[in-house]
Amino acid sequence: MPKPINVNSYGKPQNFLKSIKRLFSYIKVHLKFVIIAIILAILGTVCTLVGPNLLSEITDIVTDGTNYAQIYNETEFKQNFNSGLYELIISQDSSNEYYDEATESFLIPIIVDGEEIVTSFKLEENGSIYVTYNSLAKVNLVKITKIAVTLIILYSLGVVFNYMQGFIMSGVSQQISKKLRTDITKKINKLPLNYFDTTSYGDTLSIITNDVDTINQTFNSSVSNLVSAIILFFGSLSLMFVHNYIMAFSAIGAVFIGFLLMMLIMKKSQKYFLLQQENLGNLNGVVEESYSGHDIISVYNAEKEFDKKFDDVNKLLYVSNWKSQFISGIMNPIMAFMGNFGYVVVCVVGAVLLINNFPGVSVGTITAFMIYIRFFTQPLSQIAQAMTNIQSAAAGSERVFDFLDQSEMDDESDIKLAINDVKGNVEFDNVYFGYNQDKMIIKDFNLSVKAGQKIAIVGSTGAGKTTIVNLLMRFYEITKGKIKIDGIETNKITRDNVHRLFGMVLQDTWLFEGSIKENLIFNTENVTDEQIVNACKACGIDYFIRTLPNGYNTILDDNTSISAGQKQLLTIARAMIQNSPMLILDEATSSVDTRSEEYIQKAMDKLTKSRTSFIIAHRLSTIKNADLIIYMKDGTIAESGKHNELLRKNGAYAELYNSQFQS
């Protein structure tokens, strides 16, 4: 049966808001913690944002304290200092004790803010006076220390807030994925087999692993990242405007130009990234094909062709990889350029404003802007990243919820009726069934089986033999009619109850990773070693098991090489150990040789004795002694009766039997 691959696997969500809303119902329980984490993220970001302000203050104190120069005309000077000092400087008296020959200026200590600062007064040619507060002056270290300590405290708090935020969020996201995984696993047990017929296993597996993981990752990082990025972005933006709107506009302009450049390159490289993904997929396909089909490729001498196929795809992948890597390699330098370009713009504009005495602009302002511009550009890529992550999480949750929304088998919790001591009368009454409602596979199927009878079902492939068994086991619900066990309809008791009544051996053997003994016991309780050995002896597999390195304790895994036939014998032995009141064997002996089959035949005769059993077999010699043989064709019984009766009838069964007899 071809299973459709979910094409929308990793694409965009079809209904973003709906999936996010649904996801929110999982967050609700942890909402308190999420809010705390978001508040912590906000606090942490605010701590970071305040930093540049304080750094700006430090810079100003340092520049104020060192060289600071200003030009005064006569009236300004007289206002700021006094006329006596003005007269002295105008006099240019070289004999004055404060006159400095080398610089042709007066070096006079004056008191500023209670501190003595050596200040140079120099007469310019146009009559104004150039005043330089000299570098001998003291920087206000006390003030700086205070600010520095505040900064350290703020930054430390920022680290603590961010750590706590991360700690809480990772806890919450693990809780959410745990809940999702639990829900999915519970769901799997409630799904009708029908679901698995129409969905590939890989798809379902990928929901449990990849999709849940994507959701987890997004919660873990993106949510709080997004919050801090947005705050950092708008915070730095508004703080820039608070400091100086001209510089703010130039900074935004610079970033905008850089951003345009980046978008341009992104657009160009996108094509190659897509190609890269596609080629990678193709390469995987070829590798998988040649790996899984290794035998066939060797048998048909197709190695050369596969080599060529691989080479072609490999070459394509190389080219697209190379190009996308080249372009993304350019990305980092450009990003760096963008940041530096912003610095330059802010510095130049700031310097121009500073020289023109623009109110409120100081060296400290420029320092602050250089940091703000980084705070401003950095969140842009973070926001973009977080948005993509959230989008894939939405796509992932859409798939998860789609799965969780699949219609389930009917709830059976209020079913009280149970069959415990079964006699084994089975009745099919007018049964109709189709895997799809528009195509009936089983049509008007009627069969009455008495307790202890051995029923053989034969017929060509696709006649509906396995389907009958599936219906008997209630793996699928019948469309019309009734199936009764001991007179009770099977849909009036629980599925578990039905399953408990039957032992089943199928053509597809199912063994799990574990010791042989564990595989044999599987779900049966109170099994003694003696019972196990007896069952294996009956199936003729005891000797083989003893030759294995650890006997019954040998671990079965991918490395244990046992043949298909041996696997089948193990599952038959398992059914014997299970000792259920009724038995179903669906082509159970199709992959064992005729000698082993004889063994099993004997074992099976013991097994089926006084047990109602349904045996589907291809080799008719094995079912000759059945109480009733039914020959199926297109979902109905074409012929039925005992072996000899059917042979005498000389119909389809006789023809099939004779054809096997001749070969």
- The residues binding ligand ADP (CB under 6 A) are 1, 197, 435, 441, 459, 461-467
Are the beta carbons of 532 and 467 closer than 8 angstroms?
no
The CB-of-443 to ligand ADP minimum distance in angstroms stands at: 12
Which are the contacts of 454, defined by CB distance < 8 A and separation ≥ 6?
A: 608, 612, 613, 615, 625, 626, 627, 628
Q: Which is nearer to ligand ADP, 339 or 459 (CB)?
A: 459
The CB-of-433 to ligand ADP minimum distance in angstroms stands at: 9
109: partner contacted, choices ligand ADP, Mg ion, none (Cβ within 5-8 A by kind): none
Are the beta carbons of 582 and 613 closer than 8 angstroms?
yes
For residue 588, which of 542, 629, 619, 560 has the smallest C-alpha distance? Answer: 619
Which are the contacts of 53, defined by CB distance < 8 A and separation ≥ 6?
A: 239, 368
Q: Which is nearer to Mg ion, 231 or 441 (CB)?
A: 441
461: partner contacted, choices ligand ADP, Mg ion, none (Cβ within 5-8 A by kind): ligand ADP
56: partner contacted, choices Mg ion, ligand ADP, none (Cβ within 5-8 A by kind): none
The CB-of-1 to Mg ion minimum distance in angstroms stands at: 12
State the residues that interact with Mg ion by CB under 5 A.
466
Distance CA 364, CA 65 (A): 13
**DSSP 8-state class, residue 420:** -
Which are the contacts of 105, defined by CB distance < 8 A and separation ≥ 6?
A: 99, 120, 121, 122, 123, 130
Q: Which is nearer to Mg ion, 366 or 463 (CB)?
A: 463
1: partner contacted, choices ligand ADP, Mg ion, none (Cβ within 5-8 A by kind): ligand ADP
Q: Which is nearer to Mg ion, 210 or 466 (CB)?
A: 466
Q: What CA–CA distances, in Å, run from 216 to 11, 18, 175, 432?
A: 18, 18, 9, 46
137: partner contacted, choices Mg ion, ligand ADP, none (Cβ within 5-8 A by kind): none
The CB-of-616 to ligand ADP minimum distance in angstroms stands at: 7
Which are the contacts of 541, defined by CB distance < 8 A and separation ≥ 6?
A: 566, 569, 570, 573
Distance CA 280, CA 261 (A): 28
Distance CA 446, CA 457 (A): 13
Distance CA 447, CA 455 (A): 10
Q: Which is nearer to ligand ADP, 95 or 437 (CB)?
A: 437
The CB-of-476 to ligand ADP minimum distance in angstroms stands at: 8
The CB-of-189 to Mg ion minimum distance in angstroms stands at: 25
Q: Which is nearer to ligand ADP, 396 or 459 (CB)?
A: 459
For residue 580, which of 537, 534, 611 has the smallest C-alpha distance? Answer: 611
Q: Which is nearer to ligand ADP, 255 or 463 (CB)?
A: 463
Dihedral sign from CA coordinates of 380, 381, 383, 388? positive
218: partner contacted, choices ligand ADP, Mg ion, none (Cβ within 5-8 A by kind): none
Distance CA 628, CA 661 (A): 20
State which H helix or E strand residue 123 sits in: strand 115-123
State which H helix or E strand residue 279 sits in: helix 245-292
State which H helix or E strand residue 596 sits in: helix 594-608
Which are the contacts of 85, defined by CB distance < 8 A and separation ≥ 6?
A: 77, 108, 121
Distance CA 49, CA 53 (A): 8
The CB-of-227 to ligand ADP minimum distance in angstroms stands at: 48
**DSSP 8-state class, residue 625:** T
227: partner contacted, choices Mg ion, ligand ADP, none (Cβ within 5-8 A by kind): none
441: partner contacted, choices Mg ion, ligand ADP, none (Cβ within 5-8 A by kind): ligand ADP
For residue 622, which of 655, 660, 652 has the smallest C-alpha distance? Answer: 660
Q: Which is nearer to Mg ion, 196 or 234 (CB)?
A: 196
581: partner contacted, choices Mg ion, ligand ADP, none (Cβ within 5-8 A by kind): none
Q: Which is nearer to ligand ADP, 320 or 622 (CB)?
A: 622
Are the beta carbons of 493 and 418 closer than 8 angstroms?
yes
Q: Which is nearer to ligand ADP, 358 or 475 (CB)?
A: 475
Distance CA 549, CA 570 (A): 17
358: partner contacted, choices ligand ADP, Mg ion, none (Cβ within 5-8 A by kind): none
The CB-of-585 to Mg ion minimum distance in angstroms stands at: 12
Q: Which is nearer to ligand ADP, 202 or 329 (CB)?
A: 202
Measured from each CB, the residue nearest to Mg ion is 466
The CB-of-550 to ligand ADP minimum distance in angstroms stands at: 37
166: partner contacted, choices Mg ion, ligand ADP, none (Cβ within 5-8 A by kind): none
The CB-of-536 to ligand ADP minimum distance in angstroms stands at: 28
The CB-of-435 to ligand ADP minimum distance in angstroms stands at: 3
Q: Which is nearer to ligand ADP, 506 or 569 (CB)?
A: 506
The CB-of-270 to Mg ion minimum distance in angstroms stands at: 50
Q: Which tokens sit at 600?
A: 């099993």
120: partner contacted, choices ligand ADP, Mg ion, none (Cβ within 5-8 A by kind): none
Q: Provide the CA 367 distance to its chain's centre, in angstroms.
A: 43
Q: Which tokens sit at 332?
A: 């980092």
